[in-house]
Structure 1
């Protein structure tokens, strides 16, 4: 997994690399700048485009100066450097790179405090004003310059972190920050790149390796981790000869009402396709015909509105409850029965989450290792209203520890939060999956993996990754604008087989 570091941790990692590789600070900056240029020239190959660099006087500005010089060595001709001299302090590495830049023909102008901002004719702007580590909103000349850049309506590429954007912590509402079409960041993305507050400021990002010591990065034991495909490949267990349906467990999906049977069908179908040896759906009698016709491989426990069904809890290796369940008295009784009678981790989704929010007395009965799968509104119903995703993330880490459960907080980068205080960001998935029923499919996948004796953490990480990967395989090559949940469920065996190949 790729550790996601805070700005303070990144400074420590840079210092460790400098001391132990060993390498000088200016040479590490040169290496980072070359990594930036390597990615840039492959995606902006037109060397006749005019490019302007807006550089501060710290190390981010030093990166910008070095990038301009290296691009000139690659025969980019129309380069312009503009230095924001809004204070009297400059970093040593900035000064070294400024002297190196003077050996080229690249024109340099300075923007001093309070001066009129220069006209801008370039089609591409490189933002190297401030970078990471910002801990207060922009003001004064920096705020004025950033607003000017944003109004130009040009292609903007930020070096490491857009100026004014917080790498971690709460992003202030209506913050003034550079709106970047692309961020080329060093070594790994920042945590806030993966939260929805980044949307107004970052269209896309790319992390380029600059050779920071990997063992040291891992030793920092960051609370934030980014899942990689190799992690999921290592976790998935292929099927072996002489195994049978009993080898892969029996999952129970408690879901559905007369008008919401689709949720139950999708969740149970996903469990079948994700490899549960046996799948039983506990559904209302009115939904039995739909279940049998939709997926004959699924068995049924039929329930009525007025009487709890008799369930042999010990025969099931996993249980999920919630999709389309409703919020009536029968649903409350079912949830209560699950929390009090089933002695293994339970997957709780949708209506069951909302019932937990209304009946918080059931929370202490959750078996350790249970998995809650809320979207933003369900999360806030459970744990209180939040003003930011960073705040939501911190609450999730606190509640996962307190309740000894796993929380899958759905998002573009779906986050698995563990009782050990870790947050794992999932990289797969796309906007074509924004369709009703996708969460029901995810629940079924998690339940199937638990049935196959994956741990709760493994089930969360694999399910989130495979769910998004199947959506990517359907949407991206075929240029689909919408991926339907039922199609995604059917894709699961193919996606999982590719990962295990």
Structure 2
């Protein structure tokens, strides 16, 4: 895992690196500027006219170094704005300003009372204010930001769009640079992971600036990113003399007369994730569809639901397409009163819990819940922003000893120990019906194979997203859930192979 640090922790990492590498602050700034320029050239390889907008702090110092380094890389049509809305100039800004004077790069200083010039350049690099911002922009900064946005130029921000907070609540932060790309240093800013950031940036790119690895790894942070190494170290290799009994028996309680598709997708995903045996508990009306599509999957008629909690099954998934009527509520109440196997609850099961909060208290430790935003709010109360929602997920997971998978573009996995693992696989092409049913099938397939709930959650969310990423690489712009299922074995093979 990689710790995802707050802006304050990143500043501490800067200071620690300067003191213990050792390296001077100006040389660390130069290293960051070089990393930015390398990524910038990858993104925009054809030299174009560039305007670098610099504040007078260290973010502006980065911008001055970037302008100089871009000139050296062949981007000779460069202009610099030095936005002197503050009289304070950092030492490293001053050093980079003196270095810039040795280059034939046009620069002009903007005072608070100066009119904002028209931008002629093709690309604007935003190096106005860095990650230290903790309150909304005020005049004249807000007017400058609005003016730059109105120019509709290609904007690339240095580390973070000006006006956007790096972490914490985002309400009130309405005026911020709208960036096509953000090239950010060392780790993503936490605010990039929340949907509210979508109006300020299209895509972010993380570049390594060599901050002290031991220090960053030792930081006490609630958030961490799932890495490929986390997946390789957890996935088990299928042994030569194993058999279907080795990989467990999963039971999926899902589907109703009009929503059998959810049950079929969930069962197929479980099958392709590698459960040794899969049974789906469905209404009698769904038997023909199940037998026609998934002959490998066994059926348990809904009238025999009491058999689900007898201990016959190693893992359970309950909810996709199940319905929320009184009969379903009665089923869930009876099941939760028994000592259930490892279980994942999704979709309609969550909606029943939301209407009958007392059922949440019956969930055993290690149970997995997989809500999307609206389901989560119905379960645990409304939140008007994602920061509060994720903090609430952490609180509830810790209090109730549950695993809460809060689905999002970057999905948050809240664990009972208070940690929040963030998944970075997946893409917008997966925004189609049935994807949640597939995820639930992946999770129960992993639980059936003996993975602990925490492991199943981390592995399942990663595998699900990675399968979608493979399809995007193959040219898929929109991915049906049934097609994604077919890629799951490829991901598992890729990450369980011993290198």
How far 1:43 moved relative to its partner? 2.1
| Residue 204 of structure 1: aligned partner | 203
Matched with 2:25 is 25
Q: Is this contact kept in 2: 1:224–1:422, CA < 8 A?
A: yes
**Counterpart of 1:89?**
88
1:8-23 to 2 correspondences below 5 Å: 8-23=8-23
Q: Tell me which moved more, 208-217 or 285-294.
A: 285-294
- Give the Å deviation of 1:152: 0.6
Matched, 1:338 2:356: no
- Quote the residue 1:3 is aligned against: 3
Matched, 1:495 2:488: no
After TM superposition, list the pairs within 5 Å mapping 1:243-392 onto structure 2. 243-304=242-303, 308-311=305-308, 313-392=310-389
Alpha-carbon spacing, 1:253–1:342, altered in 2? closer, same or farther (3 Å):
farther
Question: 1:3 and 1:311, CA in 2 relative to 1: closer, same or farther beyond 3 A?
Answer: closer
Q: How does 1:122-271 map to 2 (within 5 A)?
A: 122-173=121-172, 175-271=174-270
Once the two structures are superposed, residues 348-404 of structure 1 have per-residue CA deviations (whole angstroms, 9 ceiling, x without a partner) of: 000000100111111111110111000010000001111101111111111111111
Moved more, 373-382 or 329-338: 329-338
Take 2:58 and 2:487, find their aligned partners in 1: how far apart are those partners? 47
Could you say if the C-alpha distance between residues 236 and 198 of structure 1 is closer, same or farther in structure 2, counting changes exceeding 3 Å?
same
1:51-66 pair list within 5 angstroms: 51-66=50-65
**Alpha-carbon shift at residue 308 of structure 1 (Å):** 4.8
Equivalent position to 1:482, from 470, 478, 482: 478
Give me the whole-angstrom Cα distance separating, in 1, the residues matched to 2:26 and 2:52. 19
- 1:123, 1:145 → 2: CA distance? 18
Does the CA-based 8 Å contact 2:314-2:342 persist in structure 1? Answer: no
How far apart in 2 are the matches of 1:153 and 1:254? 51
Runs (5+) with no aligned partner, structure 2 = none
SS in 2 for 1:199: helix
Q: 2 CA distance for matches of 1:191 and 1:462?
A: 22
1:284-333 deviations in whole A, cap 9, x for unaligned? 111112111110111111023xx854335312111110001101122112
Q: Does the CA contact (< 8 Å) of 2:401 and 2:416 recur in 1?
A: yes
Q: Distance in 1 between matches of 2:86 and 2:453?
A: 52
Q: The residue matched to 1:171 in structure 2 has which SS?
A: coil
Gap change, CA 1:339 and 1:71, over 3 Å in 2: same
Aligned to 2:112: 113
Shift, 1:102, TM fit: 1.2
Asked if the contact 2:167/2:190 (under 8 Å) is kept, the reply is yes
TM-score scaled by structure 2?
0.97
Q: Could you give the per-residue CA deviations for residues 3-34 of structure 1, whole angstroms, max 9, x where no partner exists? A: 11101100111111111101111111011011
Q: Please list the CA deviations of residues 174-229 of structure 1 after superposition, one character each: whole Å capped at 9, or x if unmatched.
A: 61000000000000111111111111111011000000111111100321111122
Distance 1:178 1:188 in 2: 20
Question: How many Å apart are 1:424 and its aligned residue?
Answer: 1.3
Secondary structure at the residue paired with 2:140? helix
Contact (CA 8 Å) 2:4, 2:224: kept in 1 or not? yes
TM-score (norm 1): 0.97
The more displaced of 214-223 and 377-386 is 214-223
Secondary structure at 2:487's aligned position in 1?
A: helix
Answer whether contact 1:308 1:333 (CA < 8 A) is retained.
no
Bigger mean CA offset, 17-26 vs 168-177: 168-177
Distance 1:299 1:43 in 2: 50
Q: CA deviation at 1:480?
A: 2.0
Q: Secondary structure at the match of 1:470?
A: helix
Is structure 2 residue 402 aligned with structure 1 residue 428? no
Q: Distance in 1 between matches of 2:385 and 2:27?
A: 38
Q: Structure 1, residues 46-92: CA drift from partner, whole Å, max 9, x if none?
A: 22x11001100110000000111111222321111101101211111
**Which one is further off, 166-175 or 189-198?**
166-175
Contact 1:344–1:367 at 8 Å: present in 2 too?
Answer: no
Shift of 1:42: 2.2
Unaligned runs of 5+ in 1: none
SS at match of 2:3: strand
In 2: Cα distance, 1:41 partner to 1:481 partner: 26
Partners of 1:374 and 1:407 within 8 A in 2: yes
CA distance in 2, matches of 1:424, 1:88: 41
Contact 1:301 1:309 in 2 (8 A): no
| Alpha-carbon distance between aligned partners in 2 of 1:129 and 1:491, rounded to the nearest angstrom | 44
Runs (4+) of structure 1 exceeding 6 A deviation are none
Contact 1:408 1:417 in 2 (8 A): yes
